[in-house]
Amino acid sequence: MNVLLRRLMRKQGFIAIGFLAPSVIGFAVFYLIPFVIGTAYSFIDRTSGGSFVGFANYHAVLASASFRQAAMNTFLFTAGSVPLLVVLSLLLALFLNGNVYFRNWLRTVYVMPLVVPVASVVMIWQILFDWNGSLNAWLHALGAERIDWMKSDWARGVLSVVYLWKNLGYNMILFLAGLQGIPKDYYETADLEGAGPIRKLIGITLVYLTPTMFFVVLMSIMNSFRIFRETYLIAGDYPHDSIYMLQHYMNNIFLSLDVQKLTAAAALMVCCILVIVSGMLAMERQFRRFME
């Protein structure tokens, strides 16, 4: 019996490996191996016949004013947009989790930005925020001065609005799934004890929604690094200084074929992302131990 069980487990293991192999091979070929090779390039002075230079390329990147500006803009955008996105999506999920008229229709509306092509999104925002766009036309009709939205300090605010509009529905769905997983018995017990809405929100909803909150925050941070597509299509290679992101810096270095600095900047960005992800996962593990 034990021999038969071991053979069955071995067979199931081979089947699992067979299903996982295409994904693992694809990830290794298109992501892992190129990243390792790129990291190796960041320690040499040229791609062909180069010699080892240690951390000289990293020092050159960190000493670059453009890199520091891009890193600061990326940090400010993430630090400002992610908390706002999490709070708005949570409030929206709480609202739609109740008995709201047209609830299913509203859920569909908020998820629509996830399936709209990026090119279509960019075209709409260009129509709205261009110098001769709709928003400036409305301002002019009201007697106000036109605003050059994407070439002024308003650019970061416009980019934040695009980010919120694009990701609000996705986070809302995640929060709704977490809310529906909270047992109703907890709320009924709280009602019997005379707890008010604020106490139930803090003592039940937010406590049992914390694991979902960690995941939502993590995904929001990851999506904030992907805003480059919209920024690039709206503002081009060299946008206003306030929205010049790390991806702009690396894209412009790629165009100049400075592979060593490009790979060094990419490695620094990956390290920052790994630190953020590791910190979030560690906090989640600590919370799960505390709840247990």
* pLDDT tens column, 38-53: 888 888 877 777 788 8
- Residue 44's φ and ψ, nearest 5 degrees, are -125, 165
Burial (Cβ within 10 Å: 0-12, 13-18, ≥19) of residue 253: buried
pTM of the model: 0.81
Mean pLDDT of 251-279: 85
3-state DSSP assignment of residue 193: coil
Tokens read off for 138: 């409305």
Amino acid type, 42: S
pLDDT at position 102: 64
CB distance 43 to 261 below 8 Å = no
The more confidently predicted of residues 280 and 98 is 280
pLDDT at position 227: 81
Residue 170 above 90 pLDDT?
no
Mean pLDDT of 165-193: 83
Mean pLDDT of 226-237: 78
Provide the b/e sequence for 94-130 (b: ≥16 CB within 10 Å).
bebbeeeeeeeeebeebeebeeeeeeebbeebeebbb
CATH of 63-291, one of 1.10.443.10, 1.10.3720.10, 3.40.50.720, 3.90.180.10: 1.10.3720.10
How far is the first Cα of the chain from the last one, in angstroms, to the nearest whole number? 37
pLDDT at position 100: 63
Residue 267 above 80 pLDDT?
yes
* pLDDT tens column, 2-26: 655 566 566 676 777 777 788 888 8
Burial (Cβ within 10 Å: 0-12, 13-18, ≥19) of residue 157: middle
CB distance 228 to 78 below 8 Å = no
Mean pLDDT of 260-276: 87
Residue 85 above 90 pLDDT?
yes
- Residue 209's φ and ψ, nearest 5 degrees, are -95, 0
